[in-house]
Each structure stands twice: as C-alpha cells, then as structure tokens.
Amino acid sequence: MQTLVLASSSPYRRMLLDKLELPYQHASPDIDESPKPAEQPAALVKRLAIEKAQAIATQFDSAIIIGSDQVAVCDDVILGKPGTATKAHEQLKLLSGKRVTFLTGLAVINTQHQTIDAIVEPFNVQFRTLSEQQIENYVAKEQPLNCAGSFKSEGLGIALFEKLEGDDPNSLIGLPLIQLTKILLTQGIDVLSTK
C-alpha cells in the first residue's frame, strides 16, 4: 500500500482519520489560506484542500496525500476560526437561532499517478436561540478558538444545535470520511479489507 499522508496539523482531523484504522503520517502544510477576491466559499475550501495536499505532495514520490479545509457560512458571510474568546462569543451570538452551512473541501492526491480527486461536502446546522450567558459559559468551558464557527460538535457544542442535516457528520468536524473512503477505494485502498 502506498504511504498515506494527512496534510494537516489539526488534532480533530487526525482523530477522524484514526477511525479508519489505516497507518498514516501527518504533516503540517504551510500555505496562505486567505480567500481570493470574490472567491465563493465552496471554491475557497476546494482550492485550499488541494493546495494543502500539494504542499505536502512534493515531499513524497509514492504516496496518497489527503488535504482538507472548512468554512462556516451564515447569511453569505464566511466565518473562520475565531482565535480569541471575544471573537468566538461574537460568532456564536451571530449564529444564534440561524441555519449555518459548513463546507468542507477534501482533496486526495496520488503522487505516483499524478491524480487529484477533490470534492466539497456541505453540512447544515440549525443553531438554537442562545442567551448571552449560555454563549459565555460555552466559550469558557470549551475554548473553541481554533474551530470554524466557534464550536466543537464532538463535545459540548452539540448542545448549541436544534438540528443537523447532511450526509456525513464527520464533515462537520473537518474530514468527510464517507467521501474519503470512496476516493481511497478508487486508489486501491479498501478500508474494510486492510488488516
């Protein structure tokens, strides 16, 4: 089997890829993640997923490189990672009572065959109407400062939602495993057939 490499420094993406029980390496891509002028959210995450994978692909002759990127979109505004508790509070106040679409870009590069498979996986979240105190308590408890949309759905963040809609709940955390296993199968890696 070719070397499998996750082009990410995210512990959440590693946690998700661990579910597939495949041996892999991980490396942190160093790319500029700024959107281009007038770039639409889906185009942004697809481009960044590809660029992350390409940044790592140069280091391997025979590997399958996985890149991923995610943004949250609410009222046509892209919400990135807040970085501070104040910004997380502001984001959650904005999201309170609203429907938010999370777009996750996934790119898989086969360096041996020089192929790229890339998709964008949407996932919709309906937020509960949240009080200032609920938001403050949540941000203080979970510190979701490096998460798009200021929450961790795999933790206490699940209490922020009324409803989740999408094909793959893993995409909400940052790596659409259903699509990834389909792409890996086309690359000769059957997750259910590996020992």
User: Which residues belong to the active site?
Assistant: 69
Q: What sections of the chain are H helices per DSSP?
A: 11-18, 41-57, 85-95, 132-142, 170-173, 177-186
- Contact between residue 60 and residue 111 where contact means Cβ atoms under 8 Å apart: yes
Q: Does residue 3 contact residue 25 with C-beta atoms inside 8 Å?
A: yes
Residue 63, classed as helix, strand or coil, is strand
Could you give the CA distance from residue 4 to residue 60 in angstroms, rounded to a whole number? 10
